[in-house]
Amino acid sequence: MNKKIALGLAAATTMAMAMSANVFAEDVITIGFAQVGHESDWRTASTKSCQDVFSAENGYDLQFVDCDNDSAAQLEAVRGFIEQDVDYIIIDPIVSTGWDQVLTECEDAGIPVIIIDRTIDDSDKYVSWVGSNFKTEGLAAGEWLKAYAAEKGITEINALVIEGSKGSSAQIGRTDGFKEIADAEGWTILDSQDGDFTQAGGQEVMESYCKSYEGQFNVVVCQNDNEAFGAMDAMKAAGVSYGINGDVILISFDACTAGLEYVITGDINGDFECNPLAAPTVEEVIKQLEAGETPEKEVFMPEHWYVAEDILASITVGGEEQELTVVTQEIIDAQY
Ligand code: GYE
C-alpha cells in the first residue's frame, strides 16, 4: 500500500474511533446514588444490586456515595450530584424528614430523583419510589406471633423490641405495625430501644435487656437480621435459650441469606422479608423516563414471610390472607 493512502486510512480510523467514542459518551447515563451506609447484610445486597445494574457495561456511570448513616452527609452528597449535573439521582433516605428543600433544588436543576427503600414523609418532589411497606412487615410479624402463640397455647406475651435506626421509615413502620397488634392483643412490650440496624447495636441492647429483664421476657423482636445475630450472642452469653426449642421466641426482619440460615436451624422463629433488589425496577423507571413516559409513583417489592416450623399455613394481614413459607435449603441458596 502507498504510504500516503496508509496514513490517510489510519487517520480515518482514528477519527471514526473518536467519533464512536463520542457517540458512546453521549449515550452514557450518569446516576448519583446517595446510599444509607453499610450497616447490614441487607444494605450490602442493595448496594451490590445497584452496582450490578448500573454498571459501565450496561451504559451507566454510577457515582456512588456511602453516607455512613449521616443525614447531613447524605444532603451534601445530593447537592454534590446537582453540582455535577448528573442525569438522575437515586436516594435511599436515612431519615424520613427534612427533604423538601434539597428535593426542590433537584427539581430546579431539572434532575429527576428516584427514591428507593425507605420513604420520605415531607416532600413528594420525586418521580418514583421503589421499596417495601414496612408497616405491613410489622403487622405481619404481629399477626404471625398471635397465630403462633394460639397454636402453642402461649397465653402471655412479654416482648422486648430492638428497633432499627431512629427516624428511618423502616424503624417507624415496623414499630407501628407490631405495636398495633400488641395493643389489640393486650401484650406487654417491656422495652423498645434503638439497635441502629447493626450487629453490635443488637448485641449491646440485648446485653442490657438480659440484665434488666432477667426471667421476664418470652419474645424478642429485632428489626433486622444483623441485630438478631447480636441479640443471639448476648442471649447465649446470658444463658437465655431462644428459637423453636428455647424459652424466647425470636422474630427478625430482612430475611437475608445469613438470617434464613438461622431460621432453618430453628434459632430464629420467623423472619419477615424486606427485598433489597430494587435496582432492576429502578432501571425500568429510568427507561420509561428516557422514553418520555410517566412511571408509577410507587412500586412495592414482592416479599415473603419465612418461618422455621410447618405448623401454620397462612396469616391474615390487614384483612388479606398471606402465605407463610417454611425455609428450605433451596430458598437459602437462591436468597441475596
Ligand atoms: O431492614 C436494614 C437496613 O432500610 C429496609 O436498613 C432497610 C433497612 C433494613 O440497614 O437491615
CA of 293 to the centre of ligand 1 (A): 30
**CB–CB of 336/301 below 8 Å?**
no
Q: Is 197 in the pocket of ligand 1 (CB under 6 A)?
A: yes
Half-sphere exposure of 52 (CA within 13 A, CB side): 11
Q: Given ligand 1 and candidates 116, 136, 163, 197, which is best to mutate, with the most ligand atoms within 8 Å of its CB?
A: 197
Q: What is the pLDDT of residues 245-263, one digit of tens each?
A: 999 999 999 999 999 999 9
From the CA of 253, give the closest atom in ligand 1. 1
134 CA: nearest ligand 1 atom: 5
Q: What is the pLDDT of residue 321?
A: 97
What confidence tens digit (pLDDT) does each residue in 224-245 have?
A: 999 999 999 999 999 999 999 9
What pLDDT does residue 26 have? 59
Distance between Cα 197 and ligand 1 center (Å): 7
Q: What is the mean pLDDT of residues 102-124?
A: 98
Q: Is the CB of 187 under 6 A from ligand 1?
A: no
- pLDDT per position as a tens digit, 4-40: 444 444 444 444 444 444 444 558 999 999 999 999 9
Q: What is the pLDDT of residues 163-190, one digit of tens each?
A: 999 999 999 999 999 999 999 999 999 9
CA dist., res. 220 & res. 231, Å (int): 9
- pLDDT of the residue at 67: 98
> What residues pair up with 273 in beta bridges, in sequence order?
254
Cα separation of 43 and 36, whole Å? Answer: 8
**CA angle (90, 91, 92) in 5-degree steps:** 130
Beta carbon of 272 within 6 Å of any ligand 1 atom: no
Strand ranges of the sheet holding 113-116, from the earlier edge strand across to the other edge = 60-66, 29-35, 88-91, 113-116, 128-131, 298-300
